[in-house]
Chains A and B, each alone.
Chain A
Amino acid sequence: MSAPALHTAPGAEAANLYVPKLVRIRKIIRETHDVNTLQLEFVDPAHAASFTYKTGQFGEFSIFGVGEATFNISSSPNWEGFFECCFRKVGVVTTALAKMKEGDIIGFRGPYGNSYDLEGMHGKDLIFAAGGIGFPPIRCLVHRVLEERDKFGAVVIVHGARTHRDLVYQREMDEWTRRRDIHMIKTVDPGGDPENWDGEVGFVPTVLEERVPWILEREGKGASNALAFTCGPPVMTKFVIAALGRMGVGPDQVVMTLENKMKCAVGKCGRCNIGNTYVCLEGPIFTAAQVQAMPADQ
């Protein structure tokens, strides 16, 4: 463990919105061969004390000397003492981040963006459909829902990945599979299933359409009472929305969290806009109806 890191006077720091706060990597959880979860805690107790965030918000995570990357805060805001992010090793920053060790210090700015409307979800039947590294931005909401499970209707989770080795949060999925008040459906793309695979084989939209309607029919209050949450590769979410539409769950009942490239996260660097929508300011959470009304610049 490192000694406490120093930082500049709080007043000066607060004034410059681009300066990250120091956070220590408290724990690294290896989710898959290329996906890691980081549990983070603020170095300065004053920062920890004043830090709050809402479910679905995101942050800018820095490795000094390498750069910044944007990730959803994948933990529940009710967890105390730390928060989490989850990333796949794909770019320069995430590759460097994957080499970090517990106790190392990185930078954090945030939280930014809007959040899920939890109260609006009360009494609804909830469908979560995510693919690959698209699951973490949904996972924070799943945990948040499970903390107040009785306030919601049926809960169905469809979580897919290319292969079983790419499924993140395996330990949590095992736990959710054992629960009687959650339908946990895991699936892998054809060819990604090992021997003795106990999940589904097929793409997320296909599995969703095959498995979910009868669950909703049996335990839910019909398609009009459903809300769906989806995140994943653009091609997956497109077909998820179409599949949901055929099930009677319209685009205004589908909530997406967008993953546009960002730098500043505060509406100034000009990078994340889709038409006149700055994803960092108005999003990242939109209904599919809102996203469909945006230009095709996505």
Chain B
Amino acid sequence: MKLAGTIRPQGLWALVDHLTGQGVRVVAPTLIDGLCQFGPVDSADQVVKDYLLPQNTFKEFLFPKEERVFTWLKREDGSFVVDQPSRDFPETVILGGRPCDAAAIGVSLRSVFSGDKFEHADPLFLERFERTTVVSVSCDRPDLSCFCTTMGLGPDDPTGSDVLITATGLDGELVVEVGSPKGEKFAQRLGSHLVTGQPETELRERRSQAGAEARKKFVRVFDIEHVKSFLDNPDNFDDEMFARLGTKCVSCGVCTFECPTCHCFDFKDLGGTEGGERVKVWDSCQFPVFTVHATGHQPRPDQWQRYRNRFLCKFKIYEDVFDNLGCTGCGRCVRDCPVHVDITSYAMQANKKQQLIQVTP
């Protein structure tokens, strides 16, 4: 990433007010129903400044929970008028995203909805993405569930961010780095709040030091080197660990709805034959109806098989199908699971089993 300069927090907050005043939608950590969540803010005073990770991801601003795909109206003569809603999506700045979410949404989720690997591109996602600037803030600490460093990322990783802001700990100094034209534009908007011209080597040193300090604080660190080879072996599909670890899953789907890389959706028709709309709504592979055929045939009859699919999706399928990381270690599915189903214990056990296979003659 390119070093743009430094700012003070008050410069950032002034920009929030400036942007909202210009009609730019600013999405930032804010209190919604008493919880710190990503949501649209009208002014800087609504932004939660001391936070670790909002409960939701900001994926809902690119891949909405519910989105109109088209409407229909039946005319008296039996003909139909099918209309698409305007795709005049608002210019949006995601302020205060974390590196785990930026990598997950800006790179992995985008790879699913893009036409990069397959011919079908989802313009609803891509056009929103084009008009969204992801301004991430490096984490200065993890919590017990964070494991981004294990996934090859880190608290100050720039992947997927247009702008990365890192506090150096030096008297409120924030280092601003930009990684895309959208990021450049954001830096320009900082105007006189952006201080430039400092000695670059020292600034980079302070910024790297801050990242290194945060990395040291991670406790959920484990080896995933052998997980993929374990999952690539079809004989391991029915390994005992899947039923053992997944039987307690209650099928609530929280892990999938809070996950920044989960992309499953359904279509629902609202209204009736005479007129209505089809909406694209979030769905979850954890629900039994997700895969059941009209004939009643159920490919994944047991709940542990549905969680196995989720684990495979994150640690194998995403990589095989979309050439990208399926999990960036945000830890939400670990943190918020009501029954402590823990994807990191799946990864740790798969890794260990594969290691044992490799050393056993």
Contacts and interface: CB of A to CB of B under 8 A. Distances in A.
Interface residues of A, number: 57
B244 interface: no
Interface in A262-287: 263-264, 266-271, 273-276, 278, 281
A199 interface: no
B124 A16 contact: yes
A17 interface: yes
B118 A266 contact: yes
A191 interface: no
Interface string B246-272: 000000000000000011111111011
A267 B267 contact: no
B283 A17 contact: no
A153 B162 CA distance: 61
A69 B309 CA distance: 23
A64 interface: yes
Interface residues of B, number: 58
Interface string A1-29: 01111111000110111111010000000
Contacts of B285: 270-271
A67 B267 contact: yes
Interface stretch (B20-28, B30-38, B291-299): B291-299
Nearest to B78: A2
A12 B79 contact: no
Given A16-B69, A90-B294, A297-B299, A22 B320 contact: no
A2 B77 contact: yes
Interface stretch (B90-98, B170-178, B273-281): B273-281
Interface string A94-121: 1000000001110100000000000000
A268 B84 contact: no
Contacts of B80: 5-7, 22, 64, 105
A119 B266 CA distance: 37
Nearest to A96: B273
B303 to A, nearest CB: 14
A275 to B, nearest CB: 7
A271 to B, nearest CB: 6
B72 interface: yes
Contacts of B316: 275-276
Contacts of B120: 17, 266-268
Contacts of B267: 18, 67-68, 263-264
A65 B273 contact: yes
With a 10 A CB-CB cut-off, give which of A4, A65, A260 has the most chain B CB atoms: A65
B70 interface: yes
A3 B79 CA distance: 6
A297 B313 CA distance: 13
B195 to A, nearest CB: 43
B14 interface: no
Given A65-B269, A267-B120, A269-B283, A16 B78 contact: no
B305 interface: yes
B265 A269 contact: yes
Interface string B280-320: 10010100001111110101100001000100110011001
A234 B124 CA distance: 36
B280 A18 contact: yes
A293 interface: yes
A4 B312 CA distance: 48
A103 B328 CA distance: 52
Contact of A233 (B81, B82, B295): B295
B64 interface: no
A20 B118 CA distance: 20
A115 to B, nearest CB: 15
A17 B122 contact: yes
A66 B273 contact: yes
A233 B268 CA distance: 27
B294 A91 contact: yes
A16 B123 contact: yes
Nearest to A22: B80
B79 A296 contact: no
A194 interface: no
Contacts of B276: 64-65
Contacts of A3: 77-79
Interface in B133-191: none
Nearest to B264: A270
B69 A64 contact: no
Q: What are the 3 A-B residue pairs with the smallest beta carbon separation, nearest first?
A: A5-B79, A270-B264, A2-B78
Interface of A: 2-8, 12-13, 15-20, 22, 43, 62-69, 90-91, 94, 103-105, 107, 233-234, 259-261, 263-264, 266-271, 273-276, 278, 281, 293-298
Given A17-B122, A276-B317, 8 more contacts: A5-B81, A15-B123, A65-B272, A65-B273, A267-B120, A270-B264, A276-B316, A297-B237
